[in-house]
Amino acid sequence: MEAPSYLDRRYSKQVRDNVHGHIYLDPRSSADIFDTNCRLRDLKQLGLTYMVYPGAVHSRFEHSLGVYWLAGDAVYRLKAQQGSELGIEGFDIQTVKLAGLLHDVGHGPFSHMFEHEFLPRALKNPGDSNWSHEDMSLKLIDYIVDAHHIDIGAECIQKAKSTKEKGFLFDIVANGRNGIDVDKFDYIVRDTRACGLCSNFQFERLLDNMRVIDGQICYPLKDYLTVNKLFTTRADLHRTVYLHAKVKAIELMVVDALLKADEFLQISSKIQDASQFWKIDDTILKTIEISDEQELKEARDLINRIRTRNLYQFCGEFSVPQDKQDHFKKITPQDIVCSQASSDVTLEEEDVIVSTIKIDLTRGMDYPLESVGFYENFEQKQVSKAKKEHFSHMLPSFCQDKIVRVYSRKPELGQAVNQAFQNYQEKTYGEIRSVLGTPRKLAFN
């Protein structure tokens, strides 16, 4: 993508990006933060996915630069089309771009695994369970500005962290209304390219035609299929990349390794202090691996298993029926162990891991296009909403999958765990729904 002509490049810092081409950073504030925000260079955008998709080694730093660039592109387009009526000023443009550059700064190592898998099991204080990377991002912004003496102004920082005034501007980066934002525009293109996959989602069409009506970013009704492609492509990436069964097996092993190392390395105790948290990144795996400390031996052994591909054994998965999802009861390792029939081996609960994942179109069971604002012509003054049946009868009838996966920590027990998992399905649903077993109705059902 060529650089927009509205930037004065004489005073900008130029960076070459493999997705968007040349990116130009504003002088002083953005460039200063760019130079000091090195932590994101050591956080892989897709966590441990590179162990299955070798090309997925791009960092959150690259992604954040892309979001910065697209956020600026989007707000400049709005200013060019509706600037006078929306009151968009240069100060607004700067803060939206900063929000894009810093939106992921609070992430822990290994993508969302740190927050959703490791911390809930590591934290001893129940009050710490409310920790989120969004809150840490706010703390780290203050820390980066103070620690590196960046002259950016308190008002600008406060506005970059707020979504109250001119909220439509901050929907550009992270849209809580309907999930359409430049964060997804960038990572969908960047992640598919890094993993060697194809995508025909074209975010440029949405950037070209967006406009603000009644304080909300809206899109032409004729582009509903492009919007739908955004949601379906994201869901496909979750199914085939982010939540790949082997990626998940590696994540579960790393979680176990971090838990075993936590007491010695004090990882979870650093999550509230920005001056300590910024030091935690993906290099912690190598820290454990090369250490000679006896206290880290169990964690080190697990990492060595990952390196030698002696992974936790994937023993099957099934999709929870649609009519069971609302009142789905979490399946535990005990449920699987108790379903074991007579066997030469006896399973223990610590041998089994049950992982429940959810894949949706960003709005849970709700169809996302129904929350999107549309317009039919540029003179329109009111937001148009539409029901799913108004779009197309070929769009999905159900918008969420809940998938139960079972793993064995010991590969030699994989067959026994798989059989117990199938027994559980027969007992619960009257059929084997696992992809590792041929679904069949029981004779008595």
The architecture of the domain spanning 312-361+399-445 is 2-Layer Sandwich (3.30)
Do 107 and 282 meet the contact criterion of CB atoms below 8 Å apart? no
Output the CA torsion 222→226→230→232 (10° steps): 100
Quickly tell me which residue has 């105790």 as its tokens: 269
Q: Where are the domains of the chain?
A: 9-246+368-390, 312-361+399-445
Q: Is 392 left (phi over 0), alpha (psi -120 to 50) or beta?
A: beta
- Which pLDDT tens digits describe the chain residue by residue (445 residues)? 444 444 566 677 889 999 999 998 887 666 677 667 568 899 999 999 999 999 999 999 999 999 999 999 999 999 999 988 999 988 888 889 988 998 999 999 998 999 999 999 999 765 666 788 889 988 988 888 888 777 766 566 666 555 566 889 989 999 989 999 999 999 999 999 999 998 889 999 999 999 999 999 999 999 999 999 999 999 999 999 999 999 999 999 999 999 999 999 999 999 999 999 999 999 999 999 999 999 999 999 999 999 999 999 999 999 999 988 988 999 999 999 999 987 788 999 999 999 999 999 988 888 899 999 999 998 888 999 888 777 887 788 888 999 999 999 999 999 999 999 999 999 988 888 876 644 444 333 3
Bridge partners for 314 per DSSP: 407
Whether 312-361+399-445 and 9-246+368-390 are alike in CATH topology: the answer is no
* Cα first-last separation, the chain: 58
Output the CA torsion 157→160→166→171 (10° steps): 180
CA 146, CA 21: separation in Å to the nearest integer? Answer: 32
Residue 132 identity: S
CATH pick for 9-246+368-390 out of 3.40.50.10610, 1.10.15.40, 3.40.720.10, 1.10.3210.10: 1.10.3210.10
pTM reported for the whole predicted model: 0.90
CA distances from residue 171 to 35, 80, 163, 251, 375 in whole angstroms, order as listed: 26, 18, 8, 31, 18
CA 132, CA 115: separation in Å to the nearest integer? Answer: 7
Active site residues: 133
Full 3-state SS string of 72-83: HHHHHHHHHHHH
Bridge partners for 402 per DSSP: 358
